[in-house]
Amino acid sequence: MSTFLWGILPYLCIASLVGGTVWRYRYDKFGWTTRSSQLYESRLLRIGSPLFHFGILLVFVGHVGGLVIPESWTEAVGVSEGLYHVNALLFGGLAGVCTLAGILILVYRRRTTGPVFMATTKNDKLMYVLLVGAIVLGLWTTLVSVGAGSEAHNYRETVSPWFRSVLLLSPDVTAMAAAPVQFHVHAIVGMLLFALWPFTRLVHAFTAPLHYLFRPYIVYRSRDGRTSGNRSSRPGWSGVGTSDRDRRH
């Protein structure tokens, strides 16, 4: 069971995430959007959406810090386990609470605003279950850790090595199996969320428009396509020639 959960499932999820994203980007660019519902309702959105998004960005940074950076590195720069842990719980907990509050506002808005609810698909609902589940379970691990005080489980000796070993293609199943159950559940729901990611509206996160900071304001593009009008060439009528002939000018 452990082998499947921590040795096979991660790779299935990664395959789904990468393969699904490539497939979606190739075949459904038109569907690749935030599907914003701000036109329908903006009063609650204006509170909930930034709260959730900024929160989840902080959570993401926290996860990268906790999972990718080995404990030995932080200790090498003089951050003790205790100090790191307090910080992680404090800021992680704060970001998590913001994220949860944000998404609860958004889900409440989605359920109670008629047009927004009507624009909600089954796909969205499944995604929300997994997303809220992952956030709640993540906060649960934090709560358990806070409750345990100094006795708290040090996930940087179990979960983090496993995570890195998965990325290095030699999964350290025993390390992860040694972690407490709350980490197990959180990780499984998280993996499922990532597996589902490319097939939901969450893909918009992959096209976060950071290049906006650097691109020129005015964009010129040459008229694409070689046919005029709105008619594409019909099957059986493609022109004779080689690929270099297709280059215009």
Q: Does 217 bind another protein (CB under 8 A)?
A: yes
Q: Does 185 bind another protein (CB under 8 A)?
A: no
Which tokens go with 3? Answer: 């082998």
C-alpha distances (whole Å) from 169 to each of 7, 10, 119, 155, 162 are: 9, 10, 41, 20, 10
Q: Does 243 bind another protein (CB under 8 A)?
A: no
CB of 245 to another protein, least distance (A): 10
The region of 93-101, 154-162, 170-178, 214-222 touching another protein under the rule CB under 8 A is 214-222
- Closest CB to another protein among 157 and 246? 246
The region of 41-49, 135-143, 167-175, 188-196 touching another protein under the rule CB under 8 A is 41-49
The region of 36-44, 123-131, 155-163, 183-191 touching another protein under the rule CB under 8 A is 36-44
83 vs 128: CA distance, rounded Å: 34
62 and 102 Cβ atoms separated by less than 8 Å? no
CB of 236 to another protein, least distance (A): 10
120-136 burial: b if 16+ Cβ within 10 Å, else e: beeebeebbebbbbbbe
- Closest CB to another protein among 1 and 213? 213
The region of 84-92, 131-139, 181-189, 230-238 touching another protein under the rule CB under 8 A is 230-238
Q: Does 241 bind another protein (CB under 8 A)?
A: no
Helix axes 9-27, 181-196, angle to 10 degrees: 20
Q: Going residue by residue from 101 to 120, which x/- string records binding to another protein, judged by CB under 8 A? A: -------------xx--xx-
Q: Does 54 bind another protein (CB under 8 A)?
A: yes
- 10, 16, 49, 159: which one binds another protein (CB under 8 A): 49
CB of 217 to another protein, least distance (A): 4
144 and 136 Cβ atoms separated by less than 8 Å? no
135 and 96 Cβ atoms separated by less than 8 Å? yes
Q: What is the CA radius of gyration of the chain?
A: 23
200 vs 233: CA distance, rounded Å: 33
Q: Does 227 bind another protein (CB under 8 A)?
A: yes
17 vs 14: CA distance, rounded Å: 5
Please choose, from the candidates 153, 148, 175, 177, the residue with its C-alpha nearest in 3D space to the C-alpha of residue 164: 175
Which residues of the shown chain bind another protein in the complex (CB under 8 A)? 29-30, 32-40, 42, 45-46, 49-50, 52-54, 114-115, 118-119, 204, 207, 209-213, 215, 217-223, 226-231, 234, 249
